[in-house]
Structure 1
Amino acid sequence: MPDTPSTALPAQLPPLPPLTAQAEHLAELGVHELAGIPADELRAFAEHAGTLHADALLAVHPDRVPASALAPLLRREGKPGFVVTDMPDVDDFVPYTVELPDAPLYLVTGLDRGDHMSNWSPDEALPALAEADRTPLLLTEGIHWVLQQPAALERNRCFMTIGSRLPKPNGTYDARTPAIWISNGTGRDGSERRNAPKVGWCWWNNRHTWLGFASATGRSHLGLPPK
């Protein structure tokens, strides 16, 4: 871990919307159509899960809706989210040290933005999360979080999603690591994208004072009750 730990205060975020409200929001955005899931099935899953879990995130499996399709649905100050131009392979990033439920819809519980780990590198953060019995978020899960709770993305308190990595043919992993932050409208982003939500990447061994490490306590799929 870093020689000088971050002094960032823990995130004080409001509770997530109820799962039924999250399902409605995804339906309004057309995510269920992108995933090939009937709206009634989405709502039924959320209604059932909501009776068992509070303050959980409703996520669609990345095999159903990839990051490139979710990112443009993000909004901040009326501006849509985007993926940086030098990440055309964003959908080739796969779960890393993470086991996903074998289901199109699942829950992510115990979300934390990881502000206290700002100025850590991914290489330093991953074992610390494992030691704390936490699991890093996938990029798609991070996007789902910001879709449902825009306050999770703040200037100088953005986050990496190191549960997603890009495998290489030789069995190693690409050194780029996905992150979600807010564009300054510089360079190839374009001035029109200033303050827009941005999906980008950082190097595996680099530290950034404004990026924490989003994580959760777990994931689960709850089967619908018998009809």
Structure 2
Amino acid sequence: MSETGTTSGRRRHTAGWAVARGEDVDLAPTPEAELDRQLGNLCDKGYPELAGMSPGGLRDHLAPLGELLPKAFASTPRSLPFLLVVTSRLVPTVAAVERFAVRGRPGFTDMADELGGYAPIPEVEPPEADAYLLVDVDTGAGTLGVRPTDALPVLLGAGRSPLTIDEGVALVTHFPKVLTTRNAFQSLGSRAANKRVPSFWVSKGAPRLGWCWAGNPHTWLGAASAAARYGSR
């Protein structure tokens, strides 16, 4: 899929960006510059080597996603404008988590042995691609203190989609400040044959991918969600 958009479409997504730039995160001046920032961030974190590519090769591989920006910003985003999601097909989850950087501390997970058992829930259909754009991302401050089992139907009823593990990894990778300036969050969009919900928070001063029970409410964990996903392949 490849869409370049119209002049009016570019005006719409630029106007939406002006609103989003008021957020408490590091954001480039335009969507195009932000995509380039996120690409550079991946290169700085060693993603090319993890994916078996050169930095230029990774950029070329992901470049078609830039053509989707006008489509992704047909309406004004209400929160984080977009994430460049690199899935575990291309870069292993544990390696990606270990490249988190929150207040100078690398990330860690105690879920390495069980991550292979998690998959998107039926209500979530990520693009059949090893990388894509996730649009209008919210960390779920409005669902703090709500059990994940209760938060899921609320998100779906509002036309929102819960984040997967890959998408949670992308959120902390590109916008690490959310864990310290907003709230920790859960990825209700990925589940295994158990009652565990993948969760991202700061533990002992370091960013962590862990889990919490689906039936337990937490005042510090929100149900993260997004408006849409767009893939070029």
Pairwise TM-score range, normalised by the shorter structure: 0.7 to 0.9
Asked if residue 143 in structure 1 is aligned to residue 163 in structure 2, the reply is no
- Assess, with a 3 A threshold, how the Cα gap between structure 1 residues 95 and 76 changes in structure 2: closer, same or farther: same
- Could you say which residue in structure 2 is the equivalent of 1:93? 118
Partners of 2:185 and 2:156 in 1: CA distance: 17
More helix by share: 2
- Equivalence for 2:92: 66
1:77-226 equivalence runs, <5 A: 77-84=103-110, 88-96=113-121, 97-154=123-180, 157-166=183-192, 173-183=193-203, 194-222=204-232
Contact 2:94-2:112 at 8 Å conserved across structures: no
Secondary structure of the corresponding residue to residue 22 of structure 1: helix
Q: Is the CA contact 2:102–2:206 (under 8 Å) kept in the aligned structure 1?
A: yes
- 4+ residue stretches of structure 1 with deviation over 6 A? none
SS at match of 2:142: helix
- Structure 2: which 5+ residue stretches go unaligned? 1-22, 29-33, 74-80
Q: How big is each residue's C-alpha offset from its partner over 1:133-189, in whole Å with a ceiling of 9 and x where there is no partner?
A: 0000011211111111111112782101111111xxxxxx21111000001xxxxxx
1:107, 1:219 within 8 Å by CA — same for their partners in 2? yes
Q: Which amino acid aligns with 1:204?
A: A
Q: Secondary structure at the match of 2:167?
A: helix
Structure 1 unaligned spans of 5+: 1-11, 167-172, 184-193
The equivalent of 1:40 in structure 2 is: 59
Question: Which residue of structure 2 lines up, in the alignment, with residue 190 of structure 1?
Answer: none
Give the superposition deviation at 1:114.
0.5
Amino acid at match of 1:100: P
Q: Is the 8 A contact 2:47 2:91 kept in 1?
A: yes
Note if contact 2:186-2:223 (Cα within 8 Å) is conserved in structure 1: yes
Number of residue pairs aligned between Structure 1 and Structure 2 = 196
Contact 2:25 2:178 in 1 (8 A): no
Change (3 A) 1:66 1:163: farther
Q: TM-score, normalised by structure 2?
A: 0.76
- Indicate the larger mover: 147-156 or 109-118: 147-156
Rounded Cα–Cα distance in structure 2 between residues aligned with 1:103 and 1:156? 30
Look up the SS of the partner of 1:14 in the other structure. coil
1:87-116 superposed Cα distances (whole Å, 9 cap, x missing partner): 521233111131111112200001001111
Deviation of 1:30 (Å) = 2.0
Letter aligned with residue 76 of structure 1: V
How far apart, CA to CA, are the structure 2 residues paired with 1:82 and 1:152? 17
The 1-side partners of 2:159 and 2:52 are apart by 33
* Residue 36 of structure 1, CA deviation: 4.1
Q: Identity of aligned pairs, percent?
A: 34
